Amino acid sequence: MQEQNLCDSFVAIPFAMRYCWRMLTVLMECRDQESELAQTLSVLVAGAVEGLVSDVGVLDHNSQDASLRVADSAGCRFHQDWNIEDVLRAARGEWLLLIEPGARPQIGWVEEVAEHIALTRHPARFSPSRNYRPSLMKRFIRPPPPLEHGLIVPKVHAQAQARSGMGLADLARGQKAHRLISEIVPAWAMRG
C-alpha cells in the first residue's frame, strides 16, 4: 500500500480553507439594480466555490424590477423590510464584505481576502481598478463613495457600530482600512 503524501491531500482542500475556517458574508443594498446585481453575483461564485463566501444578503429599497428573482436564483437572502442590526445578526460569516451592486472584485481577490481574514482582525478595502478610474478632476472634486472600493470588516466590529436606520454606506463611512492589492471595478463603470 502506497503512503499518501500530506501535500497531495492539501491540494484537495479549497484554497480559502487552507488559511482558516472563517467565512465571509457578502452584503449589498439595491434599488432597481437587477443587471448590476447579476454582474456582482457572477464574480462572487468563485468565492463560494473556494469556500470563502458563506452567504449573500441583498438589502432592497422597494425595487420594482427583477432584483428579487436574480437574488433568489443565486441563492441569496433578499431583505425587503430590513433593519441593519437584524441583518448583521443573521449573517453567517465572521467577516462581512460590503459592496455596491455592479462592483466586481478582480482576479486574485478570493486568495487575498482569505489570507487577510486569516491573519488579521483589521478592516480592508480593495484597490481601485487601474482600468476604471474617474478623471483627475472628478477625483479632486468628489471623494469616492464609502463603498466604491468595498469594505471587508469583522462582523463583531460592524455590529458594535450598527444603529437602527443605518445603511451599509453608513457602516463603511470613515473606516480606516488596509488597502488590498486585489483591484475592484467600481459599480459606476457598469453604468458608463
Residue ranges making up the domain that contains 35: 6-191
pTM of the model as a whole: 0.85
Quote the DSSP letter at residue 17: H
Structure-derived torsion over alpha carbons of residues 148, 165, 36, 71, reported in degrees to the nearest 10: 140
Does 1 map to a domain? no
The half-sphere exposure of 94 on its side-chain side, counting CA atoms within 13 A, is: 13
Inform me whether the pLDDT recorded for 19 exceeds 60. no
Exposed, middle or buried: residue 66 (CB in 10 Å: 0-12, 13-18, 19+)?
Answer: middle
Strands 104-105 and 95-98: unpaired
pLDDT tens for residues 116-125?
999 999 999 9
Does 107 map to a domain? yes
Mean pLDDT for the stretch of residues 12-38: 77
Inform me whether the pLDDT recorded for 26 exceeds 50. yes
The total of other beta-carbon atoms located within 10 Å of residue 190's CB is: 18
Does 148 map to a domain? yes
Residue 15 DSSP SS3 = helix
Confidence of residue 130 (pLDDT cuts 50, 70, 90): confident
> CATH number, domain at 75?
3.90.550.10
Does 179 map to a domain? yes
With cell 478592516, the residue in question is 123
